[in-house]
Amino acid sequence: MLTRDILQLQDYRRYLGLPASETLSEGQLRQSLIETLIGGPEGRELWIFAYGSLMWNPLLSFDRMEVARLEGWRRSFCLEMVAGRAAPESPGRMLALVRGGATDGLAFRLSRETLAEDLDRLWTREMIVGSYCPLWAPVRFRDGRKADAITFVADVRQAHYRPGAAVSEVAGVISGAVGPMGRNTDYVFSLDSALRANALRDDYVSDLAAALVGAGSQRPDSGSTIDLTPPAHTCSSAMPAARCGS
């Protein structure tokens, strides 16, 4: 499983099985982060909206977690990948957000004490191959309150983007993909389990998981769970916010 220690740029490249020539440099990652932070709304809190693996393995120091809804964006396995849970000989699909619909996920308020380190790790994790566009978007919590949060949506200008991402189009691709991080199918099953654990549902994800099982893929053992209980302290960060145009 991915850990914080692995999220050092060189280590993460090796973990994914990617050469440096196929990833963003440290300088490019830093510039993307700075531009995002500069362009965002003013405020004292920094929230991250999680809709994929951050839901069950956030690797962030946070002092608050909320179930949240993001309007105007929906999940889509629209990014082709040949590393991580895939390989050049068995390409797979990576999850992103595309325009339309709504997405239910988790929002994490980052702790002030480790904010810089957490953002550096997050950018390495999400932006290493440049397939996403980081942007600020309003999310709504279950009690009706709202907050601006950073999330990562598909950059449709990139070569990795594939517009055909219906269940019938991606199930066969995902079922055959495997790489250094494991099977592509395990990501789908973990996401489906994370949604269920938080009393959430995404028909696209559940239908894809069902299609994979129907095609012979087996769910991984679910004996281990991740503790998402935040630490007891309160965040009062005055970190500036950011926006990525899309």
* Enzyme catalytic residues: 126
Structure tokens at 40: 């965002």
The answer to whether residues 121 and 4 touch, using CB atoms and an 8 Å cutoff, is yes
Query: Which spans in the chain are helix H?
Result: 9-16, 26-38, 115-127, 167-175, 184-197, 203-214
Q: Which amino acid type is present at position 16? A: L
Helical H segments across 52-161, by residue range? 115-127
Conformation bin of residue 216: beta by default, left when phi > 0, alpha when psi is -120 to 50:
left
Contacts of 175 (CB under 8 A, 6+ apart): 184, 185, 212, 215, 216, 217
- Taken as a whole, the chain contains a residue count of 246
Please, which residues have CB within 8 angstroms of residue 109's CB and are 6 or more apart in sequence? 45, 46, 47, 62, 63, 64, 65, 66, 147, 230, 235
Calpha distance 180→153 (Å, rounded): 24
SS3 55: helix
